[in-house]
C-alpha cells in the first residue's frame, strides 16, 4: 500500500519538482555572489582603516614634534588614546560602549594629606605640596589610583598628575594676585542708611576716595620693593571688580593713579568723559571685567539698624560661618559662589594673560577667598579679622604653579596734613594677616569620645 502511494505521488508531482530545481540553483548562485561581494567590500574597508590609522599615527608624530616646546599638561591640542590608561583602553574594547567616566578609569580621589591646620603665624598661607589650586581646564592624564590600605590610612593617595598640573599652572599664572577691599563707604560711617538705600548702591565717602587713590599710588609705585622689586605700574594689569557701586568707585580711584581723571575735565558730557578715559586705559594695556560672584555678603534687602544688632548677636551664638541673615546669605553661601569664581579664575588667567591680577571686592569676600584657596578651617575663618578699607592682601606666584601669601598692605591713619606725593607712605607692610583674639571668637566644641 505504501509503495503504491509513493509511486502515485512521484508520478503526479515529479515533473513539477524537476522544474523547480533550476530556479533553486539560480537563487543559490545569486546568494553566493552577494556574499562574495560583501566580503570583498569588508576587506576594502578594513584596508582603508589600516591606512587611515597609519596616517593618523604619522600626523600625531608630526604634531608631537611641533608641540615639543609646550608644557606637558597642555597636551598636543587633540584627544588620542594615549591619554587613556592600559586598563581603561582594555575596558573600552571589551565592553563596547561605556560612559566617559568609566572609560577614564576610577575617579581620582583627593584626601587630606594632613590633619594639621595652617598656623596663624608668618608661615600662614602655605599649604601641603600635594594640593594644587582648583584649577585647570585641561584634564590630567588618567592613571591607576593606589587605594591600598596603607596609602588610605596615611590620609593621601598618589597625586600622579601633580607635575602636569603644576606645569600648566606655572604657564598661565600671573606674577601676583592682589586683593583690595573697597574704600570707606556711606554704610561704614552711617549704618542707618542701609534701611533706606540698597546695599549695592552705597557710594564712597570723601575719605573713601582718598583711600582708593592712595591704594592706586601704592599699587603703581610705592610698594615695588615689597613686591619682588618691580612696581606693578610697569607691568600689565587685569582688574576683576565687584559690581557694587562702592567697589566700582574704588576701582576708578585706583585707576586715577595710572591715568588721572582730571585730564578729561574739558569733556562736558559725563558719559563721553568716562569713555575717553576708559579708551586711554585700554591703550596702556589695563584691562578689567566685573564678576558678581565676588559681591558683598547679602545681609538682607533693607537692613533696619535695631534688627541688625539682634541678628549679629544671634550670629555670634550660632556661629559666624553658618548663620544666615533673614532674606540674606551666610558666610558658607559666599564660600560656595567664591569657589566657582576661583575655578573660572584659572581659565581667566589663560584667556586674559597679565602680570598682575587685582581683585577689587569686599571684606567678607576676601576672607572667604583666602579660606577657600588655602583651605583654612572654619575656626580659622572665624579668627580672621575683616580687612580695613583700602587694605590690600598680596598673593605671589611661588614659581611652581601655586600662590603663596606674602602679606598685607594696610593704610595708616595720617598724623597730620601730608602732600599728595607722600600718601603712599601712609601704608605699612605686614607679613601676616590680622586675627581676632581667641576670646572674641566662638570655637567649636567637639568631643574625642563619649567614653572619656
182 is catalytic: yes
pLDDT over threshold 90, residue 185: yes
Q: What is the pLDDT of residue 289?
A: 94
pLDDT score of 84: 34
Indicate the pLDDT class of residue 230, thresholds 50, 70 and 90: low
In the block, cell 570583498 appears at 40
Mean pLDDT for 278-296 is 93
Q: What is the grid cell recorded at 352? A: 586674559
User: For residues 185 and 204, is the Cβ–Cβ distance under 8 A?
Assistant: yes
Question: Angle, to 10 degrees, between the axis of helix 331-351 and the axis of helix 363-374?
Answer: 70
Mean pLDDT of 107-134: 36
Residue 338 clears pLDDT 90, i.e. is over it? yes
Residue 159 CA to residue 75 CA, distance in Å, equals 18
**188 is known to lie in a ligand binding site:** yes
Please tell me which residue in 161, 238, 296, 362 is annotated as part of the active site. Answer: 296
**425 pLDDT above the threshold of 90:** no
Question: Average pLDDT of 229-252?
Answer: 86
Beta bridge partners of 179: 359, 393
Tell me if 283 is assigned to a ligand binding site: no
Q: What is the pLDDT of residue 221?
A: 75
Give the highest mean pLDDT range of 97-106, 151-160, 352-361. Answer: 352-361
Q: Under a CB-based contact definition with an 8 Å cutoff, are residues 378 and 443 in contact? A: no
How far is CA 109 from each of CA 147, 343, 372, 445, rounded to the nearest angstrom? 9, 18, 19, 29
| pLDDT over 50 at 106, yes or no | no
Q: What percent of the chain has pLDDT over 90?
A: 29
Of 147-151, 161-165, 355-359, 384-388, the range with the lowest mean pLDDT is 147-151
Highest mean pLDDT among 87-101, 110-124, 335-349: 335-349
31 Cβ neighbours under 8 A, 6+ residues apart? none
- Highest-confidence range of 29-33, 319-323, 369-373, 422-426, by mean pLDDT? 369-373
The whole-number average pLDDT for the span 422-447 is: 70
pLDDT mean over 205-218: 92
| Cα 402–Cα 405–Cα 406 angle in degrees, nearest 5 | 120
Mean pLDDT of all residues in the chain?
72
Taking the C-alpha atoms of residue 15 and residue 185, their distance in angstroms, rounded to an integer, is 111
Angle between helices 162-172 and 331-351 (to 10 degrees): 70
Average pLDDT over residues 89-94: 38
| For residues 287-305, average pLDDT | 89
- Whether 90 has a binding-site annotation, put simply, is no
66-81 average pLDDT score: 39
Which pLDDT tens digit goes with each residue over 7-38? 565 656 555 555 555 555 566 667 777 767 66
Distance, in Å, from the CA atom of 203 to the CA atom of 248, rounded to the nearest integer, reads 9
Q: Where are the beta strands (DSSP E) in 92-236?
A: 176-181
Which residues is 384 bridged to in the sheet?
435
Under CATH, which number does the domain 173-440 receive? 3.40.50.1240
pLDDT above 60: residue 432:
yes
Q: What is the pLDDT of residues 306-328, one digit of tens each?
A: 888 888 888 888 888 888 888 88
Average pLDDT, integer, range 422-444: 69
Pick the residue with more confidence: 391 or 66?
391
The domain locations on the chain are: 85-159, 173-440
Residue 363 in marked binding region: no
187 labelled ligand-binding: yes
181 in a known ligand binding site: yes
Q: Which among 180, 281, 175, 284 has a CA at the least distance from the CA of 232?
A: 175
Residue 1 has pLDDT above 80, yes or no: no
What does the pLDDT read at residue 19? Answer: 56
Indicate whether 365 pLDDT > 70. Answer: yes
More confident residue, 302 or 224: 302
Catalytic residue among 182, 252, 362, 397: 182
Say which residue, 69 or 449, is predicted with more confidence. Answer: 449
**Per-residue confidence (pLDDT) for residue 326, from 0 to 100:** 87
252 is catalytic: no
Amino acid at each position: 500500500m505504501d509503495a503504491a502511494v509513493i509511486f502515485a505521488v512521484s508520478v503526479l508531482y515529479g515533473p513539477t519538482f524537476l522544474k523547480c530545481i533550476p530556479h533553486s540553483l539560480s537563487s543559490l548562485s545569486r546568494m553566493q555572489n552577494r556574499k562574495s561581494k560583501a566580503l570583498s567590500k569588508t576587506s576594502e574597508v578594513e584596508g582603508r582603516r589600516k591606512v587611515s590609522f597609519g596616517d593618523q599615527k604619522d600626523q600625531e608624530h608630526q604634531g608631537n614634534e611641533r608641540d615639543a616646546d609646550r608644557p606637558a599638561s597642555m597636551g598636543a591640542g587633540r584627544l588620542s588614546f594615549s591619554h587613556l590608561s592600559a586598563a581603561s583602553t582594555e575596558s573600552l574594547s571589551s565592553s563596547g560602549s561605556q560612559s566617559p567616566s568609566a572609560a577614564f578609569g576610577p575617579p581620582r580621589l583627593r584626601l587630606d594629606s594632613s590633619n594639621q591646620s595652617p598656623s596663624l603665624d608668618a608661615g600662614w598661607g602655605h599649604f601641603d605640596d600635594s594640593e594644587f589650586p582648583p584649577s585647570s581646564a585641561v584634564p590630567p592624564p588618567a592613571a591607576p589610583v593606589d587605594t591600598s590600605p596603607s596609602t588610605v590610612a596615611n590620609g593621601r593617595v598618589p597625586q600622579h598628575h601633580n607635575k602636569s598640573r603644576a606645569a600648566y599652572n606655572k604657564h598661565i599664572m600671573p606674577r601676583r594676585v592682589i586683593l583690595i577691599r573697597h574704600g570707606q563707604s556711606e554704610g561704614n560711617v552711617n549704618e542707618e542708611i542701609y534701611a533706606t538705600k540698597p546695599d549695592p548702591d552705597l557710594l564712597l565717602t570723601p575719605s573713601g576716595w582718598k583711600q582708593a587713590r592712595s591704594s592706586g599710588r601704592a599699587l603703581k609705585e610705592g610698594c615695588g620693593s615689597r613686591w619682588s622689586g618691580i612696581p606693578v605700574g610697569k607691568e600689565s594689569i587685569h582688574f576683576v571688580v565687584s559690581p557694587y557701586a562702592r567697589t566700582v568707585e574704588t576701582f576708578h580711584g585706583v585707576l586715577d593713579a595710572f591715568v588721572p581723571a582730571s585730564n578729561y575735565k574739558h569733556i562736558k558730557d559725563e558719559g563721553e568723559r568716562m569713555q575717553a578715559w576708559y579708551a586711554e586705559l585700554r591703550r596702556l594695556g589695563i584691562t578689567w571685567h566685573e564678576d558678581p560672584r565676588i559681591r558683598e555678603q547679602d545681609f538682607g534687602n533693607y537692613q533696619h539698624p535695631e534688627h541688625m544688632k539682634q541678628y549679629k548677636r544671634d550670629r555670634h551664638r550660632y556661629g559666624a560661618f553658618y548663620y544666615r541673615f533673614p532674606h540674606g546669605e551666610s558666610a558658607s553661601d559666599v564660600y560656595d559662589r567664591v569657589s566657582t569664581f576661583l575655578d573660572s579664575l584659572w581659565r581667566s588667567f589663560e584667556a586674559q594673560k597679565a602680570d598682575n591680577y587685582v581683585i577689587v571686592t569686599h571684606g567678607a569676600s576676601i576672607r572667604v577667598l583666602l579660606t577657600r584657596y588655602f583651605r583654612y578651617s572654619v575656626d580659622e575663618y572665624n579668627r580672621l579679622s575683616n580687612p580695613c578699607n583700602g587694605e590690600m592682601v598680596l598673593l605671589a606666584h611661588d614659581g611652581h604653579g601655586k600662590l603663596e601669601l606674602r602679606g598685607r598692605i594696610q593704610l595708616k591713619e595720617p598724623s597730620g596734613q601730608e602732600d599728595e606725593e607722600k600718601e603712599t607712605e601712609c601704608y605699612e607692610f605686614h607679613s601676616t594677616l590680622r586675627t581676632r583674639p581667641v576670646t572674641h571668637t566662638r570655637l567649636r566644641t567637639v568631643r574625642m569620645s563619649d567614653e572619656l
